[in-house]
Amino acid sequence: MPVLTTENINQAIINASYEVRGRLVARAGEIEKEGFENRPYKEIIYCNIGNPQNLGQQPISFVRSVLACLTQPKLLESNVFPKDVIERAKEIKKELPCGNLGGYSHSQGLRFIRQHVAEFIEKRDGIKTDPDNIYLGNGASDCISKVLNVLIRDKKDGIMVHIPQYPLYSAAITLFGGSRVDVNMDFKKGFALTVEELERAYKDAVSKNITPRALVVINPGNPTGCVLKYDNMKEIVQFCMDKNLVLLADEVYQSNIYKENPFISFKKVVHDMKLEDKLELFSFHSVSKGFLGECGRRGGYMEISPAINKDVKAQIYKLFSISLCANLDGQIVVDVMVKPPKEGDESYEEYKKERDAILASLKRRSETLVEAFNSIEGVQCNPAEGAMYCYPRITISQKAVDEAKKRNLKPDTFYCLELLESTGICCVPGSGFGNELESDNSFYFRTTFLPAEDKLKEAAEKFRTFHSEFMKKYPMQ
């Protein structure tokens, strides 16, 4: 008999779910192994996760050039790279613990990078920022998991999370033994996060003997693509104050804005309300999104507000120290993200051209996909104001729902599996983000708009054809 079985390992791991790399992706991998000889497509289009470079986005040259010089210092003496790349790499090299990337850094991350992050936040928000309140992690996910670990003591501790939500939160809450408190966003109101729904969710949790400890807000939204308005953010902050909640602001898509509604940080809102010494706020950012798309570098940061108790802050530092430090490549990409080439630098024009081209293309792709969805009968999709995703709402027949039940599948999973098998398009069912089938047989799924523009248009047409055939096979009565 094996020592470890699924019955005797930590059951929190069994119960945790992470559908953006779940059943659909596993099946996509099987299809690739089986081959495409007998299929009407020749590749899988992975629209399941915000992974830009895997879908063809090119790296920003300045980022990779600086990293190259630090990875192989001999390049610092060459004429391969522009002058400002060499200067920047030499500046960073001086600050590295052993003069190269081979040593551990301070547990919170390299001090000079944390200083640059503080300057970035001050420039963004107009608010003085203390680098000692900045922590560099292996991506924002690393920082988020640590904060949830600090917050959750047992099953009676609730973390309020808007639905739909990014499944990192539901998975981590399960792993740490807490309870997820669902706050439903309203599709018809552009996925607004209303005070009325916050109050309902809070009261419901308390009635179940759960103590809400924190509220998670992802802005710009994942998976919804919505961008919160300033007045709504003030309402959320006031709610957290009134209910004595910690606020976790996931702001990793702050550079991905495609409509007129601008990104505003929760730090700025809290500051404007003169609550920076009262509201306990954690804010997160990452190099994986925006226009860098450096997911594999695993770089991110969090800022903790001055309201966090100094003794708790010491425990957070200890938690970061246990894993020694974030990887140095990721830390350096954070540095380049918050301190890019400036006008007049030799690399500036190339950097600006690459950045603007990526963001303009993302905007076009978002509009292409939203327009395509809304042109199909039975499909509705809110505009993608930000982030990297569309989150369409689809109404299907009872016959389709019944067929899903026969196959022991949720209706949205059934639909997405049929889409994958027919077209090679891999998406994530809305149930993976907490959305279940609605009373009128409506459900959601998330797709990125990261594939190249020509491939995205092709995928949109494939989806149109598939949906038409699906509705013929399972017609409305």
Asked whether residue 265 falls in the same domain as residue 366, the answer is no
Looking up residue 306, the CATH number of its domain turns out to be 3.40.640.10
* Structure-model confidence comparison of residues 106 and 229, the more confident one: 229
Structure tokens, 477? 């009565």
Q: How far apart are CA 193 and CA 186, in angstroms?
A: 7
pLDDT above 90 coverage of the chain, percent: 62
Asked if pLDDT for residue 188 goes beyond 90, the answer is no
What is the rounded average pLDDT of the residues 189-208?
Answer: 93
251-284 tens-digit pLDDT: 999 999 998 889 999 999 999 999 999 999 999 9
Q: Which of 305, 338, 371 is the last residue of a domain?
A: 338
Q: How far apart are CA 457 and CA 136, in angstroms?
A: 38
Asked whether residue 333 falls in the same domain as residue 370, the answer is no
pLDDT at residue 20, rounded to an integer: 59
68-125 tens-digit pLDDT: 999 988 898 888 899 999 999 999 998 888 777 788 888 888 999 999 999 999 999 9
Q: Which residues, 6 or more positions from 419, have their beta carbon under 8 angstroms from its beta carbon?
A: 425, 427, 463, 466
147-163 tens-digit pLDDT: 999 999 999 999 999 99
Residue of 328, 339, 297, 338 whose CA lies nearest to 98:
328
Residues spanned by the domain of 245: 92-338
pLDDT at residue 18, rounded to an integer: 67
Asked whether residue 416 falls in the same domain as residue 454, the answer is yes
The residues that bridge with 170 in the sheet, in sequence order, are none
Assigned domain for 256 exists:
yes
Asked whether residue 165 falls in the same domain as residue 244, the answer is yes
Asked whether residue 34 falls in the same domain as residue 163, the answer is no
Assigned domain for 3 exists:
no
Contact criterion met (CB below 8 Å) for 41 and 423: yes
Assigned domain for 46 exists:
yes
Assigned domain for 308 exists:
yes
Structure tokens, 264? 């505003």
Q: Which residues, 6 or more positions from 465, have their beta carbon under 8 angstroms from its beta carbon?
A: 423
Assigned domain for 288 exists:
yes
Assigned domain for 135 exists:
yes
Asked whether residue 297 falls in the same domain as residue 427, the answer is no
Q: Residue 459 CA to chain centroid, in angstroms?
A: 23
Asked whether residue 326 falls in the same domain as residue 389, the answer is no
**Model confidence band, residue 181 (pLDDT cutoffs 50, 70, 90):** very high
Asked whether residue 153 falls in the same domain as residue 300, the answer is yes
Mean pLDDT (the chain, rounded): 90
Assigned domain for 216 exists:
yes
Asked whether residue 214 falls in the same domain as residue 269, the answer is yes
429-457 tens-digit pLDDT: 998 888 887 888 999 999 988 888 888 88
Asked whether residue 320 falls in the same domain as residue 461, the answer is no
**Model confidence band, residue 143 (pLDDT cutoffs 50, 70, 90):** very high
Asked whether residue 406 falls in the same domain as residue 303, the answer is no
Q: Which of 284, 306, 338 is the last residue of a domain?
A: 338
Asked if pLDDT for residue 1 goes beyond 90, the answer is no
What is the rounded average pLDDT of the residues 115-140?
Answer: 95
What is the rounded average pLDDT of the residues 199-214?
Answer: 96
Contact criterion met (CB below 8 Å) for 265 and 252: no
390-433 tens-digit pLDDT: 999 999 899 999 999 999 999 999 999 999 999 999 989 998 88
pLDDT at residue 370, rounded to an integer: 93
Q: How far apart are CA 128 and CA 121, in angstroms?
A: 8
Asked whether residue 276 falls in the same domain as residue 159, the answer is yes
- Within a 10 A sphere around the Cβ of 100, how many other Cβ atoms? 13
pTM of the model: 0.91
Among the residue ranges 34-48, 97-111, 283-297, the one predicted with the least confidence is: 97-111
357-388 tens-digit pLDDT: 999 999 999 999 999 999 998 899 999 999 99
Q: Name the DSSP class of 435.
A: P
Domain count, the chain: 2
Looking up residue 372, the CATH number of its domain turns out to be 3.90.1150.10
Assigned domain for 87 exists:
no
